[in-house]
Amino acid sequence: MKVLIDNYDSFTYNLYQQIGAFDPEIIVVKNDEITLDDLKAMHPSHLILSPGPGRPEDSGISLAAARYFANRIPMLGVCMGLEVICEALGGQLKLAKTLMHGKSGQVTLDTTDPLFRNCPTEAMVARYHSLVCDGDSLPGIFNVPAYSADGDIMALTIPSMQIYGMQFHPESVMTEPGIGDQMIQNFLQASIASGATN
């Protein structure tokens, strides 16, 4: 079963529906209504960290969950979910060069990364954030397979640990049609290849 932690974002159920279209074995839990022990007892096959307002320290159980489940099960972070993964695994955040709240922007994608297979090398995506991961702070385990037009980090991955995250919103209608679905499928297929099960 896949567990989606809801960081109190209006996009959480869009993400739930997008993932559920490919695999219905998914449930949503709110970040302040569950403990890490509760989460462990659920034996999730995958962990998905939703977008949300504020900073990772405002995300309830999400930081602790990301630290615990890293390298245990496949993990996907979206928007603040990516920021949670970044901080949980040793990186830091900084202000984005351009504040993007409800705007579409072009990103450049490294299509050799498992998260972006069968995607174009450039795409228009939905962005709702003012923070980004600070590349100078990142531990060497991270890949950076996506950048904005002005050079901000738009994705982090650790394929060997089945950890993936994107700063933009694959579930938004402002993301180019079909591309967000492809990224979600890539995450699910990569985790199947690694042996993850429901």
86: annotated active-site residue: no
Of 87, 119, 129, 169, the active-site residue reads 169
Catalytic residue among 79, 86, 119, 133: 79
Q: Which member of 86, 87, 119, 171 is catalytic?
A: 171
**169 in active site:** yes
SS3 sequence, the chain? CEEEEECCCCCHHHHHHHHHCCCCCEEEEECCCCCHHHHHHCCCCEEEECCCCCCHHHCCCHHHHHHHHCCCCCEEEECHHHHHHHHHCCCCEEEEEEEEEEEEEEEEECCCCHHHCCCCCEEEEEEEEEEEECHHHCCCCCEEEEEECCCCEEEEEEHHHCEEEECCECCCCCCCCCHHHHHHHHHHHHHHHCCCCC
* Residue 153 C-alpha from the chain's centroid: 13
Q: Positive or negative, the Cα torsion across 55, 59, 61, 66?
A: negative
C-beta of residue 1 within 8 angstroms of C-beta of residue 25:
yes
The residues assigned a catalytic role are 79, 169, 171
